[in-house]
């Protein structure tokens, strides 16, 4: 796992460690790690044109001491000071190594000509938009042809949340110290970070439990068939999806479950989507439901399952509400998506249940569930997914540029395999079936949601680039077809 801690916890750990170290030792550790990464990025340190963008905080000191190390190796290091304050000891070390402080009227040309720029304008405590002259220097750095290396977090990115308000540095590499910060993993901040390099400065023993975690392949263990397995032990997932208006959602959600490892898929809907599922997925066991509201015994007609998926393409009328009511009054895990979420927005009382419930909204769907605007959710995804998990008493998988999975009082899971190529019709239906299969296989709700999101993104990447060369556009069926390869890649580590 990659563990991320919010700023308050990082500050407390730094204070505890500094109390045991000689004065300035922690900053020197950070500067040494930063300088080492920068040296690796440059074709040659000697003669390289390096520009430091330095504010008045500790990250400015880190940048200055790192610049001094590069200057001692022959780099031509120049410093642009933003604001009235600067770390005096760091500036003295830089000057002693041969670096110099530029006049303000020299800054733009130096930034444009730099081979490498170190962003130390603000630190992890920075919130809100960048003020001048910081915003101007951030924009110049982002437009420069040189490599941009952010110190701890790109200036203008909220380290704890990933919020970006106004101008922010677009880094090629971010060198972060001690632990990841949530804003490095969550959009929009994550999109400003480039490659993130973690430098160990010794905070580990003083850090509490993380606020956010991002899984690596070894952390995800989807169930594998055992020698004694049969289709029932592998998990039977029931899917209530599709209707006369949206037949594709039925086919795609069943496909996600079939290729997601389910031992059996039981599918129920009105006649037309059932016929399409039979044609595309003959292994699915199907039940035709009459149009209109359903009696309470409808689930008995579908058959015994270990988990339910309800909602994709189902409609939002009385029939959909009666099916949603039926599954949410069971004691089985239930995943609700798409139209099911729209129904839940007017029937939140249905979420008062003890069994696991997984909700898989995008920002627009979540806005109806928790009374927040879509723009507000996109700007502060971490805050809103936590709020949703607490208010709705559910596992919430918030789809989007960064997929987040939240349960109350647990670290938020960040999916690292997301790709913009999933922004195409039907891929969410595939995800629903996939996560439903993992739930039916016995995975806890948060693990099933996080593992499903990981496999879903990985399958999309494999589908888009099955061979070396440019990635190709993909469709939802391409994601289904690539799921077996995604499982193999995950288990291979």
Question: In this structure, what are the phi and psi dihedrals at residue 314, rounded to the nearest 5 degrees?
Answer: -80, -20
Binding residue per annotation — 105?
A: no
Binding residue per annotation — 204?
A: no
Report, as an integer, the average pLDDT of 430-448: 97
Among 185, 214, 243, give the residue marking a domain's end: 214
Binding residue per annotation — 129?
A: yes
User: Are the CB atoms for 9 and 211 separated by under 8 Å?
Assistant: yes
Tell me the CATH number at 222: 3.40.1190.20
pLDDT tens-place string over residues 482-492: 999 999 999 88
Q: Is the pLDDT of residue 228 over 70?
A: no
Same-domain status, 124 and 269: no
CA distance 424 to 6: 33
- Which residue range(s) make up the domain with 201? 2-214
pLDDT (0 to 100) of residue 229 = 60
Report, as an integer, the average pLDDT of 320-328: 95
Binding residue per annotation — 429?
A: yes
Give the model's confidence band at 216: pLDDT under 50 very low, under 70 low, under 90 confident, else very high: confident
Same-domain status, 44 and 133: yes
Same-domain status, 9 and 146: yes
Give the model's confidence band at 222: pLDDT under 50 very low, under 70 low, under 90 confident, else very high: confident
Q: Is the pLDDT of residue 234 over 90?
A: no
pLDDT tens-place string over residues 19-30: 999 999 999 999
Same-domain status, 312 and 345: yes
pLDDT tens-place string over residues 387-414: 999 999 999 999 998 999 999 999 999 9
Same-domain status, 196 and 100: yes
Binding residue per annotation — 456?
A: no
Nearest-10 Cα torsion for 55, 57, 60, 66: 180
Give the model's confidence band at 221: pLDDT under 50 very low, under 70 low, under 90 confident, else very high: confident
Task: Say how many C-beta atoms besides its own lie within 10 A of residue 20's C-beta.
Answer: 11
User: Are the CB atoms for 79 and 94 separated by under 8 Å?
Assistant: yes
Binding residue per annotation — 235?
A: no
Same-domain status, 169 and 232: no
Report, as an integer, the average pLDDT of 84-110: 96
Total count of domains within the chain: 2
User: Are the CB atoms for 336 and 358 separated by under 8 Å?
Assistant: yes
Same-domain status, 306 and 187: no
Q: Is the pLDDT of residue 230 over 80?
A: no
Q: Is the pLDDT of residue 76 over 90?
A: yes
pLDDT tens-place string over residues 259-297: 999 999 999 999 999 999 999 999 999 999 988 777 778
Binding residue per annotation — 125?
A: yes
Tell me the CATH number at 186: 3.40.50.10260
Among 214, 247, 268, give the residue marking a domain's end: 214
Same-domain status, 343 and 306: yes
Mean pLDDT of the chain: 94
Same-domain status, 91 and 142: yes
Binding residue per annotation — 158?
A: no
Binding residue per annotation — 23?
A: no
Binding residue per annotation — 362?
A: yes
Binding residue per annotation — 426?
A: no
Q: Is the pLDDT of residue 379 over 90?
A: no
pLDDT (0 to 100) of residue 185 = 96
Same-domain status, 243 and 121: no
Among 189, 214, 239, give the residue marking a domain's end: 214
Q: Comparing C-alpha atoms, which of 246, 304, 262, 305 is closest to residue 434?
A: 262
Binding residue per annotation — 337?
A: no
Binding residue per annotation — 186?
A: no
Binding residue per annotation — 402?
A: yes
Give the model's confidence band at 307: pLDDT under 50 very low, under 70 low, under 90 confident, else very high: very high
Binding residue per annotation — 249?
A: yes
Give the model's confidence band at 473: pLDDT under 50 very low, under 70 low, under 90 confident, else very high: confident
Q: Give the global pTM.
A: 0.91
Give the model's confidence band at 214: pLDDT under 50 very low, under 70 low, under 90 confident, else very high: very high
Could you tell me which residues come within 8 angstroms of residue 164 by beta carbon, excluding any fewer than 6 positions away?
Answer: 156, 157, 158, 188, 189, 192
pLDDT (0 to 100) of residue 469 = 73
Report, as an integer, the average pLDDT of 51-57: 95
Same-domain status, 228 and 302: yes
Helix (H) or strand (E) holding 186: none
Binding residue per annotation — 166?
A: no
pLDDT tens-place string over residues 445-467: 999 999 999 999 999 999 998 76
Binding residue per annotation — 126?
A: yes
Binding residue per annotation — 127?
A: yes
Report, as an integer, the average pLDDT of 214-233: 74
Binding residue per annotation — 403?
A: yes
Same-domain status, 410 and 482: yes
């Amino acid at each position: 796992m990659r563990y991320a801690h919010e700023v308050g916890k990082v500050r407390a750990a730094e204070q505890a460690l500094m109390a045991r170290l000689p004065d300035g030792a922690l900053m020197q550790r950070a500067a040494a790690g930063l300088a080492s990464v920068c040296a690796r990025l440059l074709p040659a340190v000697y003669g390289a044109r390096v520009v430091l963008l330095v504010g008045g905080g500790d990250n400015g000191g880190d940048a200055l001491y790192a610049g001094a190390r590069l200057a001692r190796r022959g780099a031509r290091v120049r410093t642009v000071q933003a604001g009235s304050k600067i770390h005096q000891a760091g500036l003295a070390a830089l000057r002693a190594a041969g670096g110099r402080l530029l006049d303000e009227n020299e800054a733009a040309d130096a930034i444009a000509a730099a081979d490498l720029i170190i962003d130390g304008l603000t630190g992890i405590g920075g919130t809100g938009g960048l003020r001048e002259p910081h915003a101007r220097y951030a924009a110049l750095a982002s437009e420069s042809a040189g490599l941009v290396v952010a110190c701890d977090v790109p200036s203008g990115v909220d380290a704890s949340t990933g919020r970006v308000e106004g101008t922010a540095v677009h880094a090629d590499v971010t060198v972060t110290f001690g632990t990841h910060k949530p804003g490095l993993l969550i959009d929009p901040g994550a999109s400003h970070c480039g490659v993130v390099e973690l430098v160990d400065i010794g905070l580990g023993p003083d850090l509490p439990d993380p606020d956010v975690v991002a899984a690596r392949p070894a952390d995800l263990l989807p169930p594998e068939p055992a020698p004694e397995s049969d289709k029932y032990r592998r998990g039977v997932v029931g899917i209530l999806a599709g209707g006369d208006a949206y037949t594709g959602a039925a086919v795609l959600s069943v496909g996600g479950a079939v290729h997601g490892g389910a031992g059996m898929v039981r599918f129920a809907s009105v006649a037309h989507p059932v016929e399409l599922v039979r044609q595309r997925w003959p292994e699915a066991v199907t039940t035709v439901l009459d149009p209109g509201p359903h009696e309470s015994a409808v689930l008995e007609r579908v058959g015994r399952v270990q988990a339910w998926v309800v909602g994709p393409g189902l409609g939002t009328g009385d029939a959909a509400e009666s099916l949603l009511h039926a599954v949410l009054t069971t004691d089985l895990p239930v995943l609700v998506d798409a139209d099911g979420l729209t129904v839940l927005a007017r029937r939140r009382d249905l979420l008062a249940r003890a069994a696991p419930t997984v909700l898989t909204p995008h920002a627009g769907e979540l806005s109806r569930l928790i009374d927040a605007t879509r723009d507000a959710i996109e700007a502060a995804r971490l805050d809103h997914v936590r709020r949703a998990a607490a208010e709705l008493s559910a596992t919430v998988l918030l789809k989007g540029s960064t997929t987040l999975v939240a349960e109350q009082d647990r670290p938020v899971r960040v999916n690292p395999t997301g790709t913009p190529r999933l922004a195409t019709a039907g891929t969410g239906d595939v995800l629903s079936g996939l996560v439903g299969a993992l739930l039916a296989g016995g995975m806890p709700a948060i693990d099933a949601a996080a593992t499903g999101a990981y496999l879903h993104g990985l399958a999309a990447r494999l589908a888009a680039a099955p061979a070396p060369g440019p990635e190709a556009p993909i469709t939802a069926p391409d994601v289904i077809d690539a799921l077996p390869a995604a499982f193999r890649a995950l288990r291979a580590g």
